[in-house]
Structure 1
Amino acid sequence: MKAGIFIFCADACPRLGPCVNLGGLIMRLIVVNDVSVIRGGATKVAIQCLQACVRAGLDCTFFVGDDGTGLKESGLRVATIALGERPLRDGPVIANVFDRHFNKRAYEALAILLGQSCEETVVHVHGWNQILSPSIFHALAESAARVIVTAHDFFLNCPNGGRLNYKSGEICPVKPMSFECLATNCDKRNYLHKLWRFRRMLGQIGVGDNFWERIEVILAHEKMEAYLTPGPIRNFQTLRTPTEPLTGRPTEPWRRERIMFLGRMTWEKGVRTLSEALRMTGQAATLIGRGPLLEEMQATLPHCWVPGWLDDATVSELADQARIFVMPSRMPEPYGLVAAEAIMSGIPVIISSNALIAEEIEQNGAGLVFKSGDAASLAEALLKVKSDSLVQKLAEGARAFGKKIAPSRPEWERRMIAIYTGETAFLAA
């Protein structure tokens, strides 16, 4: 492979592309993701897939766009190919907006790995838009590998990945990659960046319908399928992200006062809506997370605690003092991991109507739903949860719903291994 590509091997795996025997089936597993450092849900699940394989006694290879240092944080020792590259949009000149949509090095490196002999190769793709680019799909299409993609977002068919118009704040009704889509300035940055995203998506579509018809897509929530169809993708299965409670013990949120937000400080995550609602009600809250709007939130919410990012142990301690969690996302949030973690802890949530899990939360009496992007609607919900009796009732609903909202980690790992080995079939749309 070319200079600059880092290769790491676990002690138990002296070569890349290991083949393993599962009841007579010889299989090689390759997990693909842009980055190795956990800063979001996609990478966290990719690492969990690797951990599941290790616990099941399977060998696998991690193909990653960055330098692979995130594996040290996770304590994982698996065979790894790391390209050591930065995100495509980090280019220093404006020309990159037009030409950095196909990562040739990623294509070549993955093609070499796929070319190693083995009776069957299973490739599980998580994230590709930041570094690897759609080039990886071209390499996969040229191989006989079985391809599984976990849809953590909507980049399988939407140029901006969110099915959201970042200018209007509304869920986008436009058919992805249509002429109307091309003419719509929906990007979070500017229209020039939208054109770059559109060009990148053309490269992804260019792999061909025959490839997209054979891939298998794992959905984080069953309602995602409606956003990914119609189109050539037809094999779907829902497997919700494994979730653990935020707190290590049962809580009594009706006896607490802390309003909490945990997530990225970005417009699409709804922090400006939350900020306005807090100013309208005069309530204080704790907002934990990093992102481009962190300093803005610190400046506009002097009566709140906005510390930036905190470690898991600290978050758990603070969650133990939480009265309510708020998830104000503007986008059609595919799952809402924080909401699930809070609910499993018996803590009610106030959630945006755009979140795909919002209806379930309301039906199970585990929280309140407000109109997405509407600060007055959110303020009304914040005032409602001043009632101790209401919060106690919602906490009871949360505890009950938390038992079925997502699979346990062991159950999720069992089901993921079953998907890899073909024991669980995908259903055609």
Structure 2
Amino acid sequence: MRLILVNDVSIIRGGATKVALQCIDASRQAGLNCAILVGDDGEGLKPRFAGIRTVALGERPLRDGPSFTDVFEKNYNKRAYDALDALLKETDEETVVHVHGWSQILSPSIFYALAKHKAKVIITAHDFFLSCPNGGLINFQTGTICDVRPLSAECLATNCDKRNYLHKLWRFRRTLTQRGVGEEFWSRVGIVLAHESMEAYLRSGPLQHFLTLRTPTEPLTPVPVEAWRNRRTVFLGRMCWEKGVRTLADALNKTGRTATLIGRGPLLDEMQRALPHCWVPGWLADEEVTALAGEARVFIMPSRMPEPYGLVAAEALMSGIPVIVSSNALIAAEVERNGAGLVFRSGDAGSLAERLASTDDDKLMRGLCEGALALGQRIAPSKAEWGRRMVDIYTGRSGFFAQ
């Protein structure tokens, strides 16, 4: 059996690419013949995947600054179509294609290539681009979760984009291109969800086959943290509006509390200016993050969008560190129900400030630490178990694929 792994980028700057590369690790260990298609230059694959058939287009993701030609190429990238079509023609052996990210470089053209072939197709839904034009199921103008039916007339008329309405129209057109592959294709695609609550948001279109396999997670620290003894408040993630960093900054400024904010993104400079009393170093090496996690009292996940899973929150819980999460996060109810952290109203800096003040209570925090560690032990599969289950999906042992 052959696996073709498809992803926009090869360099790990978020959970989606990290999971994509773990798929290659698991497949190679299981003896599958692997190939990789990425939209960037493929540098992130070296030397980890030396010897694996790799096609890299050498293009830049939209987040690095769109160009005029991207208006056309990122709606339908002919080079990506040709590259995937050629990979599928290289052999007659049974093939599974696993798609992770396509919205930044590869575009919906890859689905047209897949529709021509008999390969089984899996897509891991790391976001909501399978149904929602802006990928977040959120109105970036109002800050509220969007309940408008994707691709409806109301959706077309709604300015929900993070940039402007013209960009929304472009995204709408791209989603039409994606949907235009046809229901026959989409009805045979298997969708792997990072959290079971995602399914309700993705069922409005032609997708039919869903399976939840939570992201493999390792604790942030080698041993559980006695977080109630610590004082450091930590945010770890992309510095962008949808991740809620402005809400966090407002809450910190309201209270004068300090925090450590780790990560890259378009709002990094703004956060450094807005929070002179906090430490906002940008990106840090894994060993530095591990050391800081060992000093953490609480981790904050203030996402404005319906965060599909929240890998950092899960990693913190597995280390026994309580979390404060937005009500929009899909794991919010789970965190609250298990006494593993606190939940605040999404986008409400006052509500977040109240939850931050609650962390001064050592007795409360000790109880939350116990709840965090207990939930962390069952919140996600180990890397080894996840790898076995993913290979079972590829080989058909899971019974997932529609025949």
Q: Normalising by structure 1, what TM-score? A: 0.91
Residue 362 (str. 1) matches residue 336 (str. 2): yes
Q: CA deviation at 1:117?
A: 3.1
DSSP 3-state at the match of 2:86: helix
Moved more, 207-216 or 71-80: 71-80
Q: CA deviation at 1:131?
A: 0.7
DSSP 3-state at the match of 2:299: strand
1:157-179 CA-to-partner distances (Å, cap 9, x unmatched) read 11110001000000001000111
Query: What's 1:132 paired with?
Result: 106
Kindly provide the amino acid, as one letter, of the partner of residue 306 in structure 1.
V
1:243-300 CA-to-partner distances (Å, cap 9, x unmatched) read 0000112211111000000001101100010011111111100000011111111111
Q: Percent identity?
A: 67
Q: Counterparts of 2:392 and 2:274 in 1: how far apart (Å)?
A: 49
Distance 1:402 1:99, change over 3 A: closer
Moved more, 253-262 or 54-63: 54-63
Aligned equivalent of 2:218, options 244, 249, 253: 244
Query: What's 1:230 paired with?
Result: 204
Q: CA deviation at 1:60?
A: 0.4
Query: What's 1:16 paired with?
Result: none
Query: What's 1:11 paired with?
Result: none
1:34-88 CA-to-partner distances (Å, cap 9, x unmatched) read 1101111111111000011122222200111111100126455421111111225
Distance 1:100 1:126, change over 3 A: closer
DSSP 3-state at the match of 1:360: helix
Query: What's 2:394 paired with?
Result: 420
Query: What's 1:275 paired with?
Result: 249
Query: What's 2:116 paired with?
Result: 142
Q: Counterparts of 1:380 and 1:215 in 2: how far apart (Å)?
A: 44
Moved more, 226-235 or 115-124: 115-124
Query: What's 1:104 paired with?
Result: 78
RMSD over aligned Cα atoms: 1.4
Query: What's 1:177 paired with?
Result: 151
Residue 401 (str. 1) matches residue 378 (str. 2): no
Instruction: Extract unaligned runs of 5+ from structure 1.
Output: 1-26
Kindly provide the amino acid, as one letter, of the partner of residue 64 in structure 1.
V
Query: What's 1:347 paired with?
Result: 321
DSSP 3-state at the match of 2:105: coil
Aligned equivalent of 2:67, options 92, 102, 114: 92
Kindly provide the amino acid, as one letter, of the partner of residue 205 in structure 2.
G
Moved more, 64-73 or 112-121: 112-121
Q: CA deviation at 1:98?
A: 5.6
Distance 1:91 1:330, change over 3 A: closer
Distance 1:76 1:381, change over 3 A: farther
1:121-170 CA-to-partner distances (Å, cap 9, x unmatched) read 10000000111100000000011110000000000011110001000000
Q: CA deviation at 1:231?
A: 2.0
Q: Counterparts of 1:279 and 1:259 in 2: how far apart (Å)?
A: 14
The answer to whether the Cα contact below 8 Å between 1:275 and 1:301 also exists between their aligned partners in 2 is yes
Query: What's 1:205 paired with?
Result: 179
Kindly provide the amino acid, as one letter, of the partner of residue 97 in structure 1.
V
The answer to whether the Cα contact below 8 Å between 1:237 and 1:427 also exists between their aligned partners in 2 is no
DSSP 3-state at the match of 1:242: coil
Residue 154 (str. 1) matches residue 128 (str. 2): yes
The answer to whether the Cα contact below 8 Å between 1:97 and 1:193 also exists between their aligned partners in 2 is no
Query: What's 1:301 paired with?
Result: 275
The answer to whether the Cα contact below 8 Å between 2:74 and 2:105 also exists between their aligned partners in 1 is no
Distance 1:29 1:160, change over 3 A: same
Kindly provide the amino acid, as one letter, of the partner of residue 117 in structure 1.
T
Instruction: Extract unaligned runs of 5+ from structure 2.
Output: none
Q: Counterparts of 1:116 and 1:279 in 2: how far apart (Å)?
A: 58
Residue 120 (str. 1) matches residue 94 (str. 2): yes
Q: Counterparts of 2:391 and 2:175 in 1: how far apart (Å)?
A: 30
Residue 263 (str. 1) matches residue 232 (str. 2): no
Q: CA deviation at 1:318?
A: 0.2
DSSP 3-state at the match of 2:144: coil
The answer to whether the Cα contact below 8 Å between 2:122 and 2:191 also exists between their aligned partners in 1 is yes
Distance 1:274 1:76, change over 3 A: farther
Q: CA deviation at 1:91?
A: 4.4
